[in-house]
Amino acid sequence: MFLRGKTSRKRFLVWMWRAPTAGFASAILLAATLTACYPGSDAVYAQRQAAERQAVVTQNLRAATAQTPRGTPVEGEALRKLVVERTWISEYERFPDGSPGPHRTYDYFREDGQFIWAHNWVYGEAKAMPGDDWRVEGPRLCWRNQRMWQEAKCYTVALDAQAGIQLYIDAPGTPNHGLLTRVVKRSEAGPPKTTGR
């Protein structure tokens, strides 16, 4: 027999002990690797995740639109008066990181067409950013806030019974067109008076 002597038997027993353990460990590692892989590229996975998040947003906007009575439409010169040299203040219960608020955002529509955005979370003071602007186009109010998006976003505006400013997305051909996105309950004259947390 090929197993002669104590040393050979010992080597064989060590090999027998290690072989199944190494094979088992390799099988577990292979299974873990395969289950962690997504059948597609990272870009495809990211696109799918973004589409799922957007579907949830659209569903929430539809629900808000369905349960909120639409106010009186505001357009043209009346819309300009509602925004020129005004700061719209929106308040939320939590900051974007989930910590308790109040979290406030400030939308300031300067008379010269400059849009200034600020909030009390990261940016302490309101600063004009070149390229951020606003305009009224008939029934639409459009503004660009480059901290959030590069192109201008447009809305139709209505006033509810409590003088809240309702913003409805004006983006024909998109799933969110015509949906209520926000109700601004505070509007103050002049530039924003931001405060820290």
> Do residues 163 and 133 lie in contact, with contact meaning Cβ atoms separated by under 8 Å?
no
Q: pLDDT (tens digit, 9 = 90+) per residue, 139-156?
A: 999 999 988 888 999 999
82 or 61, higher pLDDT: 82
The DSSP element (H or E) to which 19 belongs, if any, is: helix 5-36
Distance in angstroms (rounded) separating the CA atoms of residues 135 and 85: 13
The pTM of the full predicted model, rounded to 2 decimals, is: 0.71
Q: Write out the E strands in 22-99.
A: 72-74, 86-94
Amino acid residing at 30: L
pLDDT of residue 166: 94
What is the DSSP pairing of strand 180-184 with strand 165-169?
antiparallel
pLDDT exceeds 60 at position 134 = yes
pLDDT exceeds 50 at position 1 = no
59 or 21, higher pLDDT: 59
Assigned CATH for 69-189: 2.40.128
pLDDT of residue 16: 46
Share of the chain residues as helix, strand and coil, in percent rounded to the nearest 5: 35, 30, 35
**Sequence-separated (6 or more) residues with CB below 8 Å from residue 131:** 144, 146
Domain spans, the chain: 5-52, 69-189
Q: pLDDT (tens digit, 9 = 90+) per residue, 85-112?
A: 999 999 889 888 888 888 888 999 999 9
pLDDT of residue 157: 96
